[in-house]
């Protein structure tokens, strides 16, 4: 029947190149952009099936390879809540992407639909929103995705255009919440909530012109483009975008962007000695990662880095402070709002950041690498804050907490307490929950929240840097024949297989002051990663090297 015919047709239009093997991994499918069409088409089929399964709720497809080189591309699926696709569908995603021929693909889909109770060819509907970054293969892959979606009877594809990854996730989430979900709605929410945050800055703070100046490295990707579009409407900060992606400015992610700055710790392309001392931010190619930096001197290209851990620390202090104001304030309206605040990190978080957070009485928990794990954990709290060291992270607020906050601020605003510290703290949390993208890490909304908090605290970049000093660390990649032979446990901090390896790591680590070391197979590259931390750089380097030896 119709459904079978369409699937066979589309599969024969996109034959799988021989020797290709796709794995959904930490961040969807990724490969050389020119080879991706079959996998992207199949991701289209998958997304449409996901929407059918979820009674026609909108699902998203993002075509991007994030911080990877411009020739690469990739595809991932967003679930109706704006988060990553549910993990139990990943094995099917892999099987579908690797189905060798049209018949195999058809049989897989029919069997899966049966197992999942998805009735195909009936009177169902499905909608899939699509977004892509600025990569040259984007349009070609978009077409492959559209063909995949249209192979499912009743599925409706909506192309949202060239977007940051977090914009698309936000749109999917908003659409399913029944709120307006266009790009201009996204911008309006950012601009309005940023203005609210600044209106709530104490009068004695801010005002310094230098404090308002910010240079943003857009990685020659989509983030810089979008920031240029809205910066005139962001009063209270003066933004200058470099590597904005305009003709002639440079190549996507090449010698610039958040991944480059965080890994290399040097100034990105497009900066000059005149920028020494100015606060700078760096986005990655699809604008879901954010780090800050400052050029330390005109004589070399080293930077002082503020990574995801320190952004997390700033957010955590700010949220804790507002909760404390609400709960310990002796105002006439004696309302309190008990809230469970949770901080979620991975093993890559610098040990100094974890210590800092714990010293401030915060609850810190760990998950394996990958946003899908961090985000899920953060949802267990009234307010969950998560970040990867590389700059991907956000804050999530439970519906229940937000509605309590709403009623508290209603009560407080209706009487003489209006204008009280307690009221203003509640309003700050509300504004922050509007500003931050609760679907996924978002460099643009994260950047605006950082800027608002720095103004609120009256802090310079230096004040922020000095929250704690990072322990020296070293990351290495080791090529092995089969990286899956290494199995980890305890949020990837320990090796369970091969069984002798952990003992060797422990022995090496014990030789170093403040030593910490772990190894894990990468979810995005064919390597084993080694991470080591110690009280000096020399020790961190040598710890990483000797452990890498044991892995080889």
Q: Is 353 annotated as a binding residue?
A: no
Q: What residue number has its CB nearest to ligand NG1?
A: 523
Which sign does the torsion angle of CA 31, 36, 38, 40 carry?
positive
The nearest distance, CB 511 to ligand NG1, in angstroms, is 24
- CA angle centred on 538, ends 533 and 541, rounded to 5°: 55
| SS3 state of residue 238 | strand
Work out which of 284, 382, 442, 492 binds Zn ion, going by CB under 5 A: 284
The nearest distance, CB 433 to ligand NG1, in angstroms, is 24
The nearest distance, CB 70 to ligand NG1, in angstroms, is 16
**Which is nearer to ligand NG1, 175 or 372 (by Cβ)?**
372
The nearest distance, CB 485 to ligand NG1, in angstroms, is 16
**Which is nearer to ligand NG1, 381 or 531 (by Cβ)?**
531
Q: Is 470 annotated as a binding residue?
A: no
Tokens describing residue 201:
């800055």
In SS3 terms, 247-274 reads as CCCCCCCCCCCHHHHHHHCECCCCCCHH
Q: Distance (Å, rounded) from C-alpha 113 to C-alpha 45?
A: 12
Q: Is 524 annotated as a binding residue?
A: yes
The nearest distance, CB 516 to ligand NG1, in angstroms, is 15
Q: Is 115 annotated as a binding residue?
A: no
Q: Cα separations (Å) of 507 from 376, 533, 534?
A: 34, 14, 14
**Contact between 344 and 367 (Cβ < 8 Å):** yes
| SS3 state of residue 84 | strand
**Which is nearer to ligand NG1, 166 or 370 (by Cβ)?**
370
**Which is nearer to Zn ion, 130 or 517 (by Cβ)?**
130
Residue pointed to by tokens 């049989």: 107
Tokens describing residue 316:
């955590």
Stretch that binds Zn ion, among 62-70, 291-299, 335-343, 393-401 (CB under 5 A): 62-70
| SS3 state of residue 491 | coil
Q: Cα separations (Å) of 452 from 134, 200, 232, 236, 238?
A: 29, 9, 16, 9, 13
Q: Is 145 annotated as a binding residue?
A: no
Q: Distance (Å, rounded) from C-alpha 310 to C-alpha 50?
A: 37
Q: Which does 354 bind (CB under 5 to 8 A by kind): ligand NG1, Zn ion, none?
A: none
Contact between 66 and Zn ion by CB under 5 A: the answer reads yes
For the chain, the first-to-last Cα distance in angstroms comes to: 53
Q: Work out the burial of residue 353: count CB atoms within 10 Å of its CB; fewer than 13 is exposed, 13-18 middle, 19 or more buried.
A: buried
**Which is nearer to Zn ion, 9 or 32 (by Cβ)?**
32
**Contact between 25 and 136 (Cβ < 8 Å):** no
Contact between 133 and Zn ion by CB under 5 A: the answer reads no
**Which is nearer to ligand NG1, 183 or 492 (by Cβ)?**
492
**Contact between 259 and 217 (Cβ < 8 Å):** no
**Which is nearer to Zn ion, 57 or 171 (by Cβ)?**
171
Give the active site residue among 51, 66, 174, 445.
Answer: 66
- CA angle centred on 61, ends 56 and 65, rounded to 5°: 165
**Which is nearer to Zn ion, 284 or 388 (by Cβ)?**
284
Rounded to 5, what percent of the chain is helix, strand, coil? 45, 20, 35
Tokens describing residue 361:
């009485």
Q: Which does 369 bind (CB under 5 to 8 A by kind): Zn ion, ligand NG1, none?
A: ligand NG1
**Contact between 84 and 28 (Cβ < 8 Å):** no
The nearest distance, CB 66 to Zn ion, in angstroms, is 3
Q: Which does 26 bind (CB under 5 to 8 A by kind): Zn ion, ligand NG1, none?
A: ligand NG1
The nearest distance, CB 164 to ligand NG1, in angstroms, is 15
Q: Which does 286 bind (CB under 5 to 8 A by kind): ligand NG1, Zn ion, none?
A: Zn ion
Q: What residue number has its CB nearest to Zn ion?
A: 66
Q: Is 523 annotated as a binding residue?
A: yes
Q: Which does 284 bind (CB under 5 to 8 A by kind): ligand NG1, Zn ion, none?
A: Zn ion
Q: Work out the burial of residue 481: count CB atoms within 10 Å of its CB; fewer than 13 is exposed, 13-18 middle, 19 or more buried.
A: exposed
Work out which of 72, 183, 259, 286 binds Zn ion, going by CB under 5 A: 286
Q: Which does 27 bind (CB under 5 to 8 A by kind): Zn ion, ligand NG1, none?
A: ligand NG1
Buried b (16+ CB within 10 A) or exposed e, 195-212: bbbbebbeeeebeeeebb
The CB density around residue 302, as the number of other CB atoms within 10 Å, is 14
Stretch that binds Zn ion, among 3-11, 141-149, 277-285, 364-372 (CB under 5 A): 277-285
Q: Is 299 annotated as a binding residue?
A: no
The CB density around residue 246, as the number of other CB atoms within 10 Å, is 13
The nearest distance, CB 135 to Zn ion, in angstroms, is 12
Q: Is 284 annotated as a binding residue?
A: yes
DSSP state of 337: -
Q: Which does 288 bind (CB under 5 to 8 A by kind): ligand NG1, Zn ion, none?
A: Zn ion
**What's the distance, CA 199 to chain centroid?**
28
Q: Is 426 annotated as a binding residue?
A: no
The nearest distance, CB 393 to ligand NG1, in angstroms, is 10
**Which is nearer to ligand NG1, 369 or 434 (by Cβ)?**
369
Q: Work out the burial of residue 161: count CB atoms within 10 Å of its CB; fewer than 13 is exposed, 13-18 middle, 19 or more buried.
A: exposed
Q: Which does 522 bind (CB under 5 to 8 A by kind): ligand NG1, Zn ion, none?
A: ligand NG1
Q: Is 529 annotated as a binding residue?
A: yes
Has 499 been annotated as catalytic? Answer: no
Work out which of 288, 442, 451, 533 binds Zn ion, going by CB under 5 A: 288
**Chain residues in the site for ligand NG1 (CB under 6 A):** 26-27, 66, 348, 369-370, 388, 390, 392, 522-525, 529
Count of helix runs (H) and strand runs (E) in the chain: 19, 19
Q: Is 521 annotated as a binding residue?
A: yes
Residue ranges for the binding site? 66, 284, 286, 288, 388-390, 520-524, 529
Residue ranges for the binding site for Mg(2+)? 66, 284, 286, 288
Q: Which residues bind Zn ion (CB under 5 A)?
A: 66, 284, 286, 288
Residue ranges for the binding site for substrate? 388-390, 520-524, 529
Give catalytic residue positions.
Answer: 66
């Amino acid at each position: 029947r119709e459904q079978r015919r369409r699937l066979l047709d589309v599969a024969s239009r996109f034959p799988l190149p021989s020797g290709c093997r796709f794995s959904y991994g930490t961040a969807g499918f990724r490969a050389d952009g020119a080879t991706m069409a079959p996998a992207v088409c199949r991701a289209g089929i998958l997304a449409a099936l996901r929407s059918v399964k979820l009674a026609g709720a909108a699902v998203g497809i993002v075509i991007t390879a994030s911080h990877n080189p411009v020739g690469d591309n990739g595809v991932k699926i967003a679930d109706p809540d704006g988060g990553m696709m549910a993990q139990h569908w990943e094995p099917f995603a892999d099987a579908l992407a690797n189905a060798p021929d049209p018949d195999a693909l058809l049989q897989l889909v029919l069997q899966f639909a049966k197992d999942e109770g998805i009735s195909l060819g009936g009177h169902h509907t499905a909608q899939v929103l699509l977004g892509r970054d600025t990569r040259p293969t984007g349009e070609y892959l978009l077409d492959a995705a559209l063909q995949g979606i249209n192979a499912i009877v009743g599925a409706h594809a909506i192309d949202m255009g060239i977007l940051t990854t977090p914009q698309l996730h936000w749109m999917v989430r908003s659409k399913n919440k029944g709120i307006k979900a266009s790009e201009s709605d996204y911008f309006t929410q950012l601009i309005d909530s940023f203005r609210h945050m600044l209106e709530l800055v104490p009068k004695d703070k801010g005002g310094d012109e230098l404090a308002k100046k910010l240079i943003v490295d857009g990685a020659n990707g989509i983030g810089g483009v979008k920031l240029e579009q809205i910066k005139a409407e962001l009063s209270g900060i003066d933004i200058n975008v470099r590597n904005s992606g305009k003709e002639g400015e440079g190549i996507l992610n090449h010698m610039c962007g958040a991944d480059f700055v965080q890994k290399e710790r040097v100034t990105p392309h497009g900066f000059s000695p005149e920028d020494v001392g100015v606060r700078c931010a760096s986005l990655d190619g699809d604008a879901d990662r954010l780090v800050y930096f400052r050029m330390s001197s005109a004589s070399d290209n080293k930077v002082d880095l503020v990574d995801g851990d320190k952004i997390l620390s700033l957010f955590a202090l700010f949220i804790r402070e507002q909760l404390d104001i609400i709960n310990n304030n002796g105002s006439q309206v004696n309302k309190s709002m008990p809230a469970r605040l949770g901080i979620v990190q991975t093993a890559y978080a610098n040990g100094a950041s974890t210590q800092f957070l714990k010293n401030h009485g915060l609850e810190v928990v760990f998950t394996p690498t990958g946003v899908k794990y961090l985000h899920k954990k953060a949802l267990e709290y009234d307010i969950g804050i998560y970040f990867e060291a590389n700059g991907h992270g956000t804050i999530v607020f439970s519906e229940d907490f937000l509605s309590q906050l709403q009623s508290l601020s209603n009560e407080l605003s209706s009487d003489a307490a209006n204008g009280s510290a307690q009221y203003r703290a509640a309003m700050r949390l509300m504004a922050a929950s509007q500003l931050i993208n609760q679907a996924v890490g978002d460099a643009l909304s994260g950047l605006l929240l950082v800027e608002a908090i720095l103004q609120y605290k009256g802090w310079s970049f230096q004040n922020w840097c000095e929250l704690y000093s990072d322990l020296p660390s070293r990351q290495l990649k080791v090529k092995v024949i089969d990286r899956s032979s290494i199995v980890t446990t305890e949020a990837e901090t320990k090796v369970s297989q091969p069984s002798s390896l952990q003992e060797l790591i422990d022995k090496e680590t014990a030789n170093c002051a403040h030593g910490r070391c772990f190894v894990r197979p990468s979810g995005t590259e064919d390597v084993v990663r080694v991470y080591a931390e110690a009280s000096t750089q020399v020790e961190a380097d040598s710890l990483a090297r000797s452990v890498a030896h044991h892995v080889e």
